[in-house]
């Protein structure tokens, strides 16, 4: 895949994730991107005034294993994020599925 095709793909993914979060009433706070992943952070205020945080992560490596799940779980815990979403191109490995259920991702 050429660089331009890769950039176009990542732009479509980013806008799709933003649409999902906005549909769920989250306001986008910031976007982090590096060679391994794209993170989009958002928050919303519930009816009772409580603030809920979310992180949506798209790993650029199509193989998603336990390490990726644990990294997201650790990030969620360290930054006190209420909800985490993992957007994957391919299906998770068996052990990654078990780990995501265990961590609630």
**Residue ranges per structural domain of the chain:** 3-103
Which residue has tokens 């549909």? 23
pLDDT in tens, 39-68: 999 999 888 888 999 999 998 888 888 988
- HSE value, Cβ hemisphere, 13 Å, CA-based, for 12: 7
pTM strictly above 0.75: yes
Q: Which DSSP letter does residue 54 get?
A: E
Write the CATH number of the domain with boundaries 3-103. 3.40.1350
Q: How far lies 95's CA from each of 9, 65, 66, in Å?
A: 28, 7, 6
């Amino acid at each position: 895949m050429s660089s331009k095709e890769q950039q176009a793909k990542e732009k479509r993914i980013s806008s799709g994730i933003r649409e999902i979060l906005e549909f769920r009433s989250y306001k986008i706070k910031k976007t982090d991107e590096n060679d391994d992943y794209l993170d989009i952070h958002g928050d919303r205020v519930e009816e009772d005034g409580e603030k809920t945080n979310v992180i949506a992560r798209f790993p650029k490596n199509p193989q998603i294993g336990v390490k990726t799940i644990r990294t997201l779980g650790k990030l969620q815990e360290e930054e006190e994020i209420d909800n985490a979403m993992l957007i994957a191109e391919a299906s998770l490995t068996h052990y990654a599925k078990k780990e995501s259920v265990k961590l609630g991702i």
